[in-house]
Amino acid sequence: MAFRSAVITFPGSNCDRDMAEALGKISGTPALRVWHGDHDLPEGLDFIALPGGFSYGDYLRCGAIASRSPVMQAVVAAAERGVPVLGVCNGFQVLTESGLLPGALLRNSVIRFVCRDVALKVENAQSLFTAGYAAGQEISIPVAHHDGNYFADDATLDRLEGEGRVAFRYGDEVNGSARRIAGVLNAAGNVLGMMPHPERAVETTHGGTDGRALFESAIKGLVGA
């Protein structure tokens, strides 16, 4: 069965091609490209990705306007049907603004753009996205953001921790995120939002390949199913 994925492009996306390249190279099937103004998604999708960038110039709030784009109604509906959705950086912000994930991404506590490789700890190695890692494994993935400070109230944070929905945690202080959370899952486990960019760590020419297992894990789990 051929793997069928789609990458959503918003005005201001700048990592959509990187995401499409990663999905295409690892799956062997080119990712479909979907414009934010489309009302429908291609049929038979196995995987949807919301890429990084600065959708709508980060006006109002990062991801707020993009979350109201016409295509997002179809994305939310697909997620609710169980289609896996990955949101990276700005894509993570869009997922929180659309209500698919809890919490919000605030301005970095250091009040400056952070662009470097960061150490991550894999907290949940049982999801579709993370089954290619080992629990507690330390990996290195690049970040590039100004508004990656994950915030949620204590009750929500406790619930995320208790339900095993923290997928990744920063190894050290990066942006002020509550409990150093770098990535979270929805209750069903088919939606992952994360600020680090796994699509920028899938080839040796990127300087590291620690992000590759995320895509391989998802593709293997979906095609195998």
Q: Per the residue annotation, which of 62, 97, 146, 199 is the catalytic one? A: 199
Give CA–CA dist 76/144, Å, rounded. Answer: 26
Give CA–CA dist 24/199, Å, rounded. Answer: 11
Q: Which helix (H) or strand (E) holds 144?
A: strand 138-145
Three-state DSSP class for 208? strand
Torsion sign over Cα 35, 41, 45, 46: positive
Q: Per the residue annotation, which of 36, 145, 146, 197 is the catalytic one? A: 197
| C-beta atoms surrounding 158 within 10 Å | 12
Q: Which two tokens stand for residue 99?
A: 């209500």
Q: Is 199 a catalytic residue?
A: yes
Give residue 192's Cα distance to chain centre: 5
Q: How far is CA 85 from CA 60, 64, 213, in A?
A: 24, 18, 16
Q: Per the residue annotation, which of 15, 89, 97, 123 is the catalytic one? A: 89
| C-beta atoms surrounding 211 within 10 Å | 25
Positions marked catalytic: 89, 197, 199
